[in-house]
Amino acid sequence: MGSVAELERPTVFRGDALQRDRAAAGEASCSGSRFGVQDKIARIIFESITDGVFTVDESCLITSFNKAAEQITGFSAREAIGKHCFEIFRTEICHKSCALRDTLASHRPIENARVTIITHDGKEVPISVSTTVLRGDDGEMVGGVEFFHDLSEVEHLRQRLDQERVLENLISASPSMRRVIGLLPNIAESECNVLLQGPSGTGKELFAQAIHGLSPRRYGPYIKLNCGALPATLLESELFGYVKGAFTDAKRDKPGRFALANGGTLLLDEISEMDHSLQVKLLRVLNNGEYQPLGSTKTLRTDARIIAATNANLKSAIRDGTFREDLYFRINVVALELPALYERPEDIPLLVEHFIKEMGAKKPSPVRSVSPEVLAIFRKYRFPGNVRELENAVEHARVMCQGEEIQIEHLPQHIVTESEASNGFVYNQKNEKDVIEEALQRHHGNRAKVADELRMHRSTLWRKMKLYGLD
């Protein structure tokens, strides 16, 4: 950085406009041809640097501005020179904690500070900033220089990696489920309230965590509360908190979940179980963000995004008078319906494989796979507990199995008994194609293995492949 400061000396150190214009034109700004050549070389290097670079005087007025700085900010050098740097970068942090101003005050360099600037056309651009002091021939400080580069591509890559990491636990080959998963990034970015509906064990909490993890609030708190696990009085204190003396055992102030989730996300699980009177208070928070802790006359505000989850039919609850219609419309800005596991049997092999790997990472075991007969049993069983029950069944079998492959005798007995009593597979013609296609992909097109797993004669499999256009 010192070499650039030295090369830029004629532009930075001559305060009058005439000297700046001459330097910008590549003319000699000091007497003697040697200094004129140096000025030209300095200008060429200055304009060739791929990072944005600008210099300021002791008052933080910009004295030079290179081409890369123009490209990143959208401001031309003519617009920037003579302005304060905060007029060009236009961010709140410029007034609160400016890296260049701190360097001028402390004489200490700053490296790789992350800042988000606002470009000439109003776009937000993340940049990395490094600053140092400029000194004259006598060693005295005459200004500062800032180097910055655009982090947009790095930020975009990081967001993609974060997104893949967040979504890696949402395992599905089902077209309907894949459509829901594909909507999550846009839903998360919108920050609107979300209602997750589906039978118990379908993974509503995983989806809630994914929405939080993909949202701008991902660095904020993620708080969850099961509304069906507590009586109304305790649920109210958990939601809104209380102050000391609010009731007999209130020995100190306690923040509620709305306070804890401020700036983040609050998951209200089993919201259909919430007491009717408490629904009124919740509605007030959703309307204006205001609430009062128990025993307090002070109104507090919260900025928590609400994700509600339920396995109940809320429209039926509204008709029965147990759930408020106005609250339903407040939480139902975007509704996601998660299907039961028996409606997406093509997901069973993927989930089983995922559970075995996940459990193996936590506690080593010789188990590596399940037999085709086991997958056939799983496909015939309706799994009233859905994905959660399937996970429990795999864990049970993993404990009982001493070898590498889980067999039928390792499964919970009730699953085997109920599957054997079933007349056939739970999938129907609507998703039969997806089941066969998933099995073909997993077995790399080996029709014999697919037919064995699906308990289907090979000629029947061949006929169905032709019917569905599967190669």
pLDDT of residue 220: 93
Among 407, 468, 397, residue whose Cα is nearest residue 439: 468
Chain length of the chain: 471
Q: 7: pLDDT confidence band, cut at 50, 70 and 90?
A: very low
In 29-82, where do the E strands start and end?
A: 52-57, 62-65
Mean pLDDT of 89-116: 81
pLDDT higher than 90, residue 304: yes
Higher-confidence position of 141 and 1:
141
Higher-confidence position of 24 and 279:
279
Q: 432: pLDDT confidence band, cut at 50, 70 and 90?
A: confident
DSSP 310-353: ESS-HHHHHHHTSS-HHHHHHH-SEEEEPPPGGG-GGGHHHHHH
pLDDT of residue 25: 38
pLDDT of residue 166: 74
Burial of residue 148 (CB within 10 Å: 0-12, 13-18, 19+) is buried
DSSP 222-246: EEEEETTSS-HHHHHHHHHEE-TTS
Give the pLDDT confidence of 220-238 residue by residue, as tens digits. 999 999 999 999 888 999 9
CA atoms within 13 A on the CB side of 105: 6
pLDDT higher than 60, residue 3: no
pLDDT of residue 16: 38
Contact 196, 255 (CB under 8 A): no
Contact 70, 54 (CB under 8 A): no
Q: 209: pLDDT confidence band, cut at 50, 70 and 90?
A: very high
In 74-193, where do the E strands start and end?
A: 110-118, 124-135, 141-150
* Per CATH, domain 156-339 is 3.40.50.300: yes
Q: 422: pLDDT confidence band, cut at 50, 70 and 90?
A: low
Higher-confidence position of 239 and 247:
239
Highest averaged pLDDT of the listed ranges 15-24, 265-274, 371-380: 265-274
| Neighbour tally for 309: CB within 10 Å | 26
Contact 312, 272 (CB under 8 A): yes
Q: Which helix (H) or strand (E) holds 301?
A: strand 300-301
pLDDT of residue 113: 86
Which amino acid appears at position 365 of this protein? Answer: S
Print burial letters for 386-418: b (CB count within 10 Å at least 16), e (below 16).
Answer: bbebbbebbeebbeebeeeebebebbeeebbeb
The reply to whether the predicted model has a pTM over 0.85 is no
Give the pLDDT confidence of 448-466 residue by residue, as tens digits. 888 877 878 788 888 888 8
> Encoding tokens for residue 25?
């034109």
Higher-confidence position of 333 and 18:
333
pLDDT of residue 31: 40
pLDDT of residue 37: 62
Q: What is the mean pLDDT of the chain?
A: 84
Farthest CA pair distance, the chain:
101
Which amino acid appears at position 319 of this protein? Answer: R
Structurally, what CATH architecture does the domain formed by 2-150 represent?
2-Layer Sandwich (3.30)
pLDDT of residue 5: 41
Long-range Cβ contacts of 114-119 (<8 Å, 24+ apart) = 114/151, 115/89, 115/91, 115/148, 116/91, 117/73, 117/89, 117/90, 117/91, 118/89, 118/90, 118/91, 119/72, 119/73, 119/74
pLDDT higher than 70, residue 17: no
Topology given in CATH for the domain delimited by 342-468:
Helicase, Ruva Protein; domain 3 (1.10.8)
pLDDT higher than 70, residue 64: yes
Burial of residue 288 (CB within 10 Å: 0-12, 13-18, 19+) is exposed
pLDDT of residue 253: 87
pLDDT higher than 80, residue 124: yes
3-state secondary structure of 178: helix
Mean pLDDT of 427-445: 76
pLDDT of residue 94: 66
Mean pLDDT of 406-428: 80
Domain boundaries, the chain: 2-150, 156-339, 342-468
Least confident of 11-25, 48-62, 66-80, 169-183: 11-25
pLDDT higher than 90, residue 332: yes
